[in-house]
Structure 1
Amino acid sequence: MRGLHLADILNSGLGNYRQHHIMSYQQLRVCQHLQSCRTGQLGYQAWQCDNCSEVQQIGCSCRDRHCPRCQGMATAKWVQRQQEDLLSCRYFHLVFTLPHELNIIAHYNPNALYHCLFKAAWQTLCKFAKRKRHGQLGMTSVLHTWGQNLSQHIHLHCLIPAGALDKAHWHEIKKGYLYPVKALSTVFRGKMLAALNECDSSFAKVSTPTKWCVYSKACLTYSEKLVSYLARYTRKGVMSESRLVSATEETVSFKYRDYADNNRDKVMTLSCDEFLRRYLQHVLPKGFMRIRHYGFLANACRKRKLGLIKAQVSATPCKAVKPKVEQERLIPHWSCQSCKTGTLRFIGVMNLDEATNKIARTS
């Protein structure tokens, strides 16, 4: 039985939504990609059975980073590349959260707000590292703009190796936490407001609470957990289609986890317009990098500095990492629907006209 897809909701409700809401060019573009994904509008892939030699056509995917159907293979390949950079040490996981009063800026200038968030979080950690004389930290940060119920909840997940590089010497941080979260929250608030004021003085006029939230999760020790965290927090989209329960022309129901009620799984029903409004507010600006690396993990120096660190780490090497998706499965393959025994092998790509002509010749 065919499952419910986000494209089905867009096909049935986007026309009515556009009559009552103004959409940005980027939002329209993302909707077009999601609606055309694997429908044949983007062309077809030709796959041939290695047993009966029958050629079958499969619609091309849109490869949009917002598409929930196109992230599985990209996630597996990205995680495999990141495994080479894992260090055999503990990792700290910090979450920098913006107060909801700043959400209004995301509606008018999301690029500036998100850039300031990355900048403020890294400057906060650098200030504490300098004060503690730790040296240079490394950080992989990932922007999330959503909560479980698709509301706007802008926060930054940061994975930080438990150590610092002082010139060419690696110093492990042996404490159970990186820095006190209350002190981090205070400094982060100051850095964020300063960054907003530097970007646009009108941003600093937005009223915000005096207490901000920086949350520290439990340390990660084993590489197996780190790989799953990398996949979960770096390539995860706004919503997995497995959470969709039902949809009509008027309403959409989906599953969510209520953190305020002991993490219970619940079902929320929204009007189609409200569901699309919540979903589309998380469309990122074109070209915006939501995954960024800092310090000794920065792209410009990562290879050289990780080489220095790995040569000095004396801890017991981590267990061999077993990726969730094996190497041979990184190449997609399906069983033949005709002979039921063969496997389809990719042979080429056809545009819509070529596929139409081929169907006409064989019919």
Structure 2
Amino acid sequence: MSKQLSLQGIFSKAQIMGFNPYSKSVFGQLRTCRTLSNGYHLSQCSDCGHQQMQFHGCGNRHCLFCGHLGREQWVGQRQQELLPTTYYHVVFTLPHELNGLMMGNRTLLYNLLLDASSQTLLQFGKDPKYLGAEIGITSVLHTWGQNLSFHPHVHCIVSGGGFDGNQWHHSKRVSGKFLFPVGALKIVFKAILMKGLRKLRPKLRLNNLDFEELLSQIGRKTWNVYAKRPFGGAKGVLEYLGRYTHRIAISSNRITEVGQSTVSFTYKDYADGSKVKQMTLSHEEFLRRFEQHILPRYFVKIRHYGYLRNRGKQERIKQILSSMQLCERKPLPKLSVEQFILEKYGTDIGRCQCCGEGRMVCIAVIYGPSCEPIKSESQVRNKASPV
């Protein structure tokens, strides 16, 4: 049995566990991904008449097997916004004492974490001592650790220069090893987020939590802000984006075995020199940990700030390129799935696998309940082309 089918069997167990209705609906979509329940495309060869079926993916953003094409297309769009400047990677992490409060107030506190981290960076960027201009930020919310534990943090890709509305400003840091002093970032981020927590208190579900004591505990701690060394040029930025922006909880290639009652996967133990180890969880514990990372409905986890904010972004990019005496970028052509896979991987999925000469032409699209002519799912699987 394939890894996907084995995981889908586990996801079906989520329906009898005590998850909220939305989480159950997400697991339900993951369970039917690329199965007869989701329908299929029926294609036929123009030469030999060979037919094959391709099951529909679920398209859910939490799926371990969907989203690869969307990720690649998104990265291509971001390539048009890259500038000839240094890019930095900054990670903002909340104290673990806030985990309980965040679990019960995910939307409010995820928004606060994203806003507080971006405000901190923008404030330093506008300071004439460091830059004196508006930087560009792409922020990505992560809620998991390597072992699927609940670990909310934000990865920020930050431009090494900024735009003041007229001209581009390069970083004033001589060494170029970091953009802003990390110690100062920690203090400002902590102040902005704690102020936001107090402002949100009337809206928060506390569940008998002593709010003032919690603020006192986290107020005594030094918060974690980690600034990595600069990326190795624009290529490094895109490689990072491709790995981290469109992923939830765990990637399928980390899962090594799906047993009758357990799931095993690899993880990096950062407390032990980043050694790669293996963890085995029961199906129920795997589902419990996975469910912690299901995002609230309609929540946007990838956001852009500064000169990259959505409103008027294209015009600002044109102004910045003009100020740097660079040519305007042409928009990327929109490719079909077939064209994209051929260009990216050199595989022609439109060619008939039977005769090797004809082209596969879609002759029918079947959705869900319309799959009545097919006698069994195993019958369709035997005919379907591999995903």
TM over 0.5: yes
Matched residue, 1:248: 259
Segment of structure 1 superposing worse, 167-176 or 182-191: 167-176
Q: Which residue pairs with 2:170 in the alignment? A: 172
Conservation of the 8 A alpha-carbon contact between 1:38 and 1:62: yes
Root-mean-square deviation over aligned CA pairs: 2.8
- For 2:171 and 2:325, locate their aligned partners in 1 and report how far apart those are by CA, in whole Å: 14
Structure 1 position 162, deviation (Å):
0.8
> 168-177 or 284-293, which moves further after superposition?
168-177
TM-score for the superposition, normalised by structure 1: 0.88
TM-superposed deviation, 1:179: 0.8
**Could you tell me which of 287, 300, 314 is aligned with 2:311?**
300
Q: Which segment is superposed worse, 255-264 or 182-191?
A: 255-264
Within-5 A mapping of 1:54-203: 54-131=50-127, 132=129, 134-175=132-173, 176=176, 177-201=178-202
Aligned to 1:41: 37
3-state SS, counterpart of residue 108 of structure 2: helix
- Structure 2 residue corresponding to 1:26, chosen from 22, 34, 39: 22
Provide structure 2 residue ranges, at least 5 long, that are not aligned to the other structure.
343-347, 377-387
Give how far 1:329 is off. Answer: 2.7
In structure 2, relative to structure 1, the CA distance for the partners of 1:54 and 1:13 (3 Å cut) is closer
DSSP-derived class of the 1:48 partner: strand
Residues 224-276 of structure 1 show CA distances to partners (whole Å, capped at 9, x for unaligned) of 21111111121123211111111223211111112222222111111211111
Q: Percent identity?
A: 35
| Residues 13 and 249 in structure 1, CA contact (< 8 A), matched pair in contact too | no
Q: What residue is the counterpart of 1:287 in the other structure?
A: 298
Q: Is residue 106–residue 296 contact of structure 2 (8 Å, CA) maintained in 1?
A: yes
Q: Per-residue displacement from partner, 1:115-149 (whole Å, max 9, x unpaired)? A: 00011111212222333361212111000001111
Which TM-score applies when normalising by structure 2?
0.83
Cα contact 1:252–1:269 (8 A) shared by 2 = yes
Is contact 2:33-2:58 (8 Å) kept?
A: yes
The alignment covers a number of residue pairs equal to 351
Q: Offset of 1:114 from its aligned partner? A: 0.3
The answer to whether the aligner puts 1:333 opposite 2:349 as a matched pair is: yes
Check the 8 A contact 2:62/2:247 in 1, yes or no. Answer: no
Please tell me whether the aligned partners of residues 88 and 315 of structure 1 are also in contact (alpha carbons under 8 angstroms).
no
* Cα shift readout 1:156-202 (whole Å, capped 9, x = no counterpart): 01011111111321101152211111111111111111112211256
Whether the aligned pair in 2 keeps the contact of 1:26 and 1:283 (CA below 8 Å) is: no
Shift of residue 290, structure 1, vs aligned partner: 0.2
Q: Give the C-alpha shift of residue 42 in structure 1.
A: 1.6
Matched, 1:277 2:288: yes
Q: Cα distance 1:268–1:358, how it changes in 2: closer, same or farther (>3 A)? A: closer
**Structure 1 residues 345 and 154, CA gap change in structure 2 (3 angstroms):** farther
Identify if the C-alpha distance between structure 1 residues 11 and 327 changes in structure 2 by more than 3 Å, giving closer, same or farther: closer
In 2, the alpha carbon distance for the partners of 1:348 and 1:191 equals 55
Gaps of 5+ in 1: none
